[in-house]
Every structure is written in structure tokens, then in C-alpha cells.
Amino acid sequence: MKTRSIASLLLTTALTFAAAGVASAQDKTVKIGALSDQSGLYADLGGPGSTLAAQMAVEDSGLAAKGWKIDIVSGDHQNKPDIGTAIARQWFDVDKVDVIVDVPNSGVALAVNNVIKEKNGVYINSGAATSDLTNAQCSPNTVHWTYDTYMLAHTTGQALVKAGGDSWFFLTADYAFGAALERDTTAVVTANGGKVVGGVKHPLNTPDFSSFLLQAQASKAKIIGLANAGGDTTNSIKQAAEFGIVKGGQKLAALLLFLTDVKAIGLETAQGLNFTETFYWDMNDQTRAFSKRFAGKMKNNAPPTMVQAGVYAGVRHYLKALDALGGNPHDGVKVVEKMKSMPTEDDLFGKGEIQPNGRTIHSAYLFEVKKPSESKGPWDFYKLVGSVPGDQAFTPLSESKCALLKK
Amino acid sequence: MQALYAQLLVGLINGSFYALLSLGLAVIFGMLNIINFAHGALYMMGAFVAYFLLNLGGINYWWALLLAPIIVGIFGMILERTMLQWLTGLDHLYGLLLTFGIALIVQGVFQNYFGSSGLPYAIPDQLKGGMNLGFMFLPIYRGWVVVFSLVVCLATWFLIEKTRLGAYLRAATENPTLVRAFGINVPRMITLTYGLGVGLAALAGVLSAPINQVRPLMGADLIIVVFAVVVIGGMGSIMGSIITGFALGVIEGLTKYFYPEASNTVVFVLMVLVLLVKPTGLTGRAA
């Protein structure tokens, strides 16, 4: 009896080791975690739409037919760094997640960045804006897709200063993102001969901006820079119209504006706003085809925002890298190195590359919101007014403080 | 100095929403002894009903001001009849938990269908534009909100404190059995009172629709502040909640001017101070 149980124990052990050996050679299982604000002020620009984008990327990759097994889980960080890091830790420790995607809200994004580095996972951020993710706080496990505060400052900000907007007043969301956007835009304004005459930091998710708008009005600055996002931006713009700010000769700079924000403000109020995005659903046949498929699966038939498009493109590229590796090594640094070594190309962002600091480089586009009379459909909002090539839009490597570049 | 006047006025505008909402809460707490956590969700429903009336029925803002409180009020009365009435006599905690659950469900349903960014609702043509007061540019709509909500608040106070109906109501809270003995239908009166409180929330929702986005979470963001207002003013005190509502709006407005980073928390700091010094609230009576 005793010998038999020992024998079976040995057999089991041997089998386990054998299985483990196979797994490391060509393990074809992947688990993707879509971490986002699922119900708050950023839920429409990321949220459930980002999870859908990740699912579509998995389907379109065709890896299932090659024997890969890819699962997606989603989580709600509620815009709280502590909740975001707790979910990330659980995903790595218990659920064996390989890659975390999306993560809007720069405060949460930076906190999660540290966890992913510690756990050697892969981080494909599309939702957060802070340029610190690929600059001072860069990580060998991180790829930052879609946009960042440096890009926003050097496109929208620069264009406005050059058009004569040489005095600025900032309305800034009081957390990591707002601070980064204000910092990067201030640098552009002063470098181009303009000056910042004042600013006010407002708490995240503020329903009423009238006090702040009155201060901006009193400052007599030519440009009121909105260093905020989502619901905060829509409320600022709507209430600025109410207080006659634009009619009084001051101009609003929506430094970060998403498709869903324009929908929420309505064209009547939003018309004429200039801003920058890296993706719009109505750019070409490929983007239209993708957006049609995407909208068909969304509850409110919304086409993808640039954040959701970035999640799709990022996951596609990640899966291409895994396919090229021939299996999942479950080693974040290794996979990200592979991703950086391959040029990026997809239907949504076109051709690009991932720089050594983790920054994905692709074109950025300057848009203007259409007049209600020019809009032909429920999501027909933007007019293209210009484009900036990727190498001019994003931080030049020579200016980057990323430690990865010093090797 | 000019800037200060402007901030005071802006504070009054926000104060009107606090006053309308905390008044509804105070009425419900005073008469039904229920801490109505669903108040924010019902406020949101008021704004959504206005949006639907306009976009589906072509019914304008002025009618919405009348119809939305009635529609949401009826919804509230159904809630009271089917659920809240069974909690009479139980600990406050039960009512709080039930209404909190209702709020989560209502918000979840709206969020599922309308997302979180919200829907635009235009200012009615008659109230568009603004006037220059010398020290600030006052949007006419904001001025209207202050005046209208002040009138509604005072009318509600008058109804409850100075009319015969109000007297019955107050008597029914003190001693329902005795009031019943006089042949008054107490349960129906309680239901109507809940409907009135809910209607006030919906009215505030319609008033706020053109200023803020019509969003599923618009009430959730506001309700915590409003509860602080009610606690500061004294639970169940009608006049207390009106005055505190306006006063706190002004204090918050001044904070936004002098130290904007604290504008979210100043109300709660005040709440803590008041609770330390006078636990029943500024105008509350000891239970």
C-alpha cells in the first residue's frame, strides 16, 4: 500500500514537471486585463468600450485558429489609485494576468505602472495622458499608446500660441494628469513667447465651474486652457458659453477633448473648438469599417474614441509580438522588447514605431468641431484641419529623462 | 472686491440647489423619519424626464418644470407604497439601506442605457443670454434659478409650518394614532409627503439640466454634500435646511475663490465643526 502511494506520488511529480517543461517551451495561453473607469466620468471614453476593443483585437488577430487560448478580464478602478493597484496585484498574483491595458486617469496609471514593473507584466496604456509614463517614470514593461500631455501641448497648445494666443489662464484638474498637462503646455507657451497669467486648480469631478470661470474671465487672458478631461471638460465648456466667455473675446483651449465629450456638449455649444486627437472614426475606409463593427456591438451605438482605438491597436501589436515569439514566455520585459523591435502597423493608426522609452509614435491630427449645419449624422463631429507627423508630436528622445535611454 | 461680489452671487446659485434638495430631505425625514438616500437618484430622474419630454415629446422646459416633478413624484409615491411604508417604526438604518439600494439600482439602469458622459439640454430661449451687473456677467438663467428656488422653498415652508394641512402633517408625525382618531387618513398623507419631497428633488433636477450635463451620476455627486447640509442645518428642520443650503453655497463659492483645492471638502469640515459644538445641527432640536 505504502509503496504504491509513493510510486503514484513520484509519477504525479514527474508528470507535473513534464507539463511545466512543455509550458515554458510553447505556452499559448494569454490573459488580458482591461483596467478602466467603468462607471465614472471617464467610463465613456474608455470603460466597457475598451474591453470590447480588446476583445475585437483578440478576434481579429486570428491567433485562436493557431491554437492560442486568450482570455480577457475587466476591472473598475473607480479613479482611485489604491483600488487600481489592488486589482492589478490580484490579477498578477491570483488570476495570472499577463498584460494590463487601457487604464485612464494618470494618477491610477502611474500607480499601476509600478505594480506591473514589480510583477514583470506587460502594460499597454492607452487611456492615461501623463507623459511621465515614458519620461521620468518610464519602465521596461510599459508601452504608452494613443496620446500624452507632451503631444497635446505641442499640437493644440502650440497652434493656439502661434495664432496669437499669447496669454494663458489654466483651469487644471487637481491631480497628476492636470499637473502634467499644465506643465507641458506652459513650457510650450513660454517657449513660443507667450506668458501664463494665472490659473486655478479644481478638484476632479467638479459639477460647477462658475467660480473658476469668473476668475478666468477676470484674468483677461486671451486663452483659457482647460487642463482637464471628460465630464470636467464638458462642464467647463458648457458653462463658459453660459457666462459669455467666448463672446467676450476670450478663447477656450480644450487641450484634451474626446468624441464622447463633443457628443455630451452638443454641437451647438462645441462648434469651432480646436483640439488634437490621434484617431477619429471617419478618417478613411479602414477606420470607418472598424468603427462600424465596433459601434454595432456598443449599447449606445457609439463609434470608438481614440482611447478605445488605442487599446485595439495596442493589443493587436502585443499579440503579433507573442506570435513572433512562438509562445507566451510570461516575461513582461521580454515581450515588450519584442514589441519595440517590431514596427507598428494597423488599420486605425497606420504605420508607427515604439521608441526605447515605451512611447508609441504615430501621427496626430488637429480637428475642429463642425457647425450643427455641417454635421450629417449622429457622430459626424470633426473637420480635419491639419496633421502633425509622429516624430514632431511626441517627446524627442533627446529631451526624454527616461532611465532606459541611458544604457 | 468686485470679484468677491461675483463669487457671492455664484455661491447663492449653487446654494439654491442645495436648498431645494436639502429641503426635500428635511421634509421626508421630518415627516417619515426616513433618511432618503435615493434623493440624488430622484433628482437625476427629474433631469432625465425633462430631457425625454423635450426630445421625445417636444414638450418644452416650462412644462417640464411642472410635469417632471409630478411624474417623478408619482414614482416616489409608488416606492413609498410598495417598499418604504413597511419600514415604519424600524431603525433609521433600514430606510437608509433600502433607499441607498434603490439609488444604486436606478443609477445603474440609467448608466447602462445612457453611459456616463451625459446628454445636452439647452437653456430655454426666453432665459438665454445674460446681463452685465458691473461686477460680473450674470447669465439670466442662473438668476432665474435663484429666484425660482427661493420662491419654491418659502412656499414649502409656508405649506408645512403655516397651513392647516401642514399642521395635520406635523401632528401625524407626533402621534399618528391620535390623528387617525380624528378621521384623517395618515398613511395617505405620509405617501403624499414623500411624493412632495421627491417632487422637490425632481424640480431641482429640471432646474439643473441646462447648467450641468444630464448624467446618471449627477445626483450621486451632489447627494453627499446635500446630506452634510442637512446635518449642519439640523435634520428635519425646514427653515434650517433652506438657510443652511444657501449659506453653504456661499461659503463653498468663497472657498473656490480663496483656496480652490479645498472647495470639495469645506462643507464637510464645517459639518465636523458643527457636530462637535452642536450635535443636533444649527437649528435642530434635541430628539
pLDDT at A208 (0 to 100): 86
Domains A30-147+284-363 and A150-282+365-392 share a fold: yes
pLDDT digits (tens, 9 = 90+) for B182-202: 888 888 888 999 999 999 999
pLDDT at B205 > cutoff 90: yes
Shortest distance between the Cα of A309 and any Cα of chain B, in A, equals 18
Give residue A247's pLDDT. 85
B7-66: pLDDT as tens digits: 888 889 889 999 999 999 988 888 888 889 999 999 999 999 999 999 999 999 999 999
User: Where does the pLDDT of residue A19 fall: very low under 50, low under 70, confident under 90, or very high at 90 and above?
Assistant: very low
- pLDDT value at position A6? 56
Residue B258 lies in a domain: no
Set of chain B residues whose Cβ sits within 8 Å of the Cβ of A263: 117
pLDDT of residue A20: 46
The answer to the question of residue B9 being in a domain is no
A30-147+284-363 maps to which CATH number?
A: 3.40.50.2300
Q: Do A264 and B213 touch (CB under 8 A)?
A: yes
Q: Is residue B135 part of a domain?
A: yes
Class of domain A150-282+365-392: alpha beta
Task: Answer whether residue A9 shows pLDDT above 80.
Answer: no
Res. A16: pLDDT tops 60: no
* Res. B174: pLDDT tops 60: yes
Cell reading at A194 = 507667450
Q: Is residue B275 part of a domain?
A: no
Q: At what angle do helices B2-32 and B186-208 cross, to 10 degrees?
A: 160
Q: Which residue has the higher pLDDT, B134 or B11?
A: B11
Is the predicted pLDDT of residue A199 greater than 50, yes or no? yes
Contact residues on chain B for A230, CB-CB shorter than 8 A: 117
Burial of A363 (0-12, 13-18, 19+ CB in 10 A): middle
Alpha-carbon gap: A151 to the closest alpha carbon of chain B (Å):
24
pLDDT digits (tens, 9 = 90+) for B71-109: 999 999 999 999 988 888 788 889 999 999 999 999 999
Domain layout of chain A by residue ranges = 30-147+284-363, 150-282+365-392
Q: pLDDT confidence of B286, banded at 50, 70, 90?
A: low
* Cα B233-B98-B198 angle, rounded to 5 deg: 55
B114: chain A residues, CB-CB within 8 Å? 300
Average pLDDT over residues A151-179: 93
Interface list for chain A against chain B, based on CB atoms closer than 8 Å: 39-45, 47, 174, 200-203, 205-208, 210-212, 214-215, 217-218, 230-231, 234-235, 238-239, 242-244, 248, 260-261, 263-266, 268-269, 299-300, 302
Instruction: Examine the pLDDT at A173 and tell me if it is beyond 80.
Output: yes
The answer, for B141 touching chain A at a CB cutoff of 8 Å, is yes
So what's the pLDDT on residue B235? 77
* Torsion from C-alpha of A8, A12, A15, A19, nearest 10 degrees: 170
pLDDT band with cut points at 50, 70 and 90 for residue B284: low
User: What pTM was estimated for this model as a whole?
Assistant: 0.85
Q: Given this model, what pLDDT does residue A303 score? A: 96
Split into its structural domains, chain B has a count of 1
Distances (CA, A) of B286 to B22, B234, B280: 19, 10, 6
Distance from CA of B55 to the nearest CA of A (A): 14
Separate counts of helices (H) and strands (E) for chain B: 11, 2
Nearest CB to B117: which of A211, A217, A260? A260
B29 compared with A337, residue with greater pLDDT = A337
Inspect the interface and report whether the beta carbons of A266 and B120 lie closer than 8 Å: yes
Query: How many CB pairs lie under 8 A apart between chains A and B?
Result: 116
Nearest C-alpha in B relative to A174: B261
- Say if B270 falls within a structural domain: no
CB A147 within 8 A of CB A128: no
- Cβ A243–B139 below 8 Å, yes or no? yes
Task: Establish if B127 touches chain A: CB-CB under 8 angstroms.
Answer: no
Query: Taking CA atoms, what residue in B is nearest to A175?
Result: B261
Compute the distance between CA of residue A248 and CA of residue A223 in angstroms, rounded to an integer: 12
Radius of gyration of chain A (CA): 23
Mean pLDDT of A23-42: 85
**Amino acid A3: pLDDT:** 52
Q: What percent of chain B has pLDDT over 70?
A: 98
Average confidence (pLDDT) over B256-283: 87
Assigned domain for B90 exists: yes
Within-domain flag for B166: yes
pLDDT at A12 over 70: no
Residue of chain A whose Cα is closest to the Cα of B110? A39
* Residue of B2, B11, B221 lying closest to A207 (CB–CB): B221
pLDDT for residue B30: 82
pLDDT value at residue A18: 47
- Cross-chain CB nearest to B139 (options A205, A242, A261): A242
Q: What is the mean pLDDT of residues A119-138?
A: 96
Report yes or no on B50 lying in a domain: yes
What pLDDT was estimated at residue A22? 45
Domain of residue B18, residue span: 14-223
Mean pLDDT of chain B: 89
Strands (E), A290-396: 344-346, 350-354, 360-361, 364-369, 382-388
Percent of chain B with pLDDT over 90: 47
Are residues B24 and B201 in contact, defined by beta-carbon separation less than 8 angstroms? yes
Query: What is the interface pTM, i.e. ipTM, of the complex?
Result: 0.82
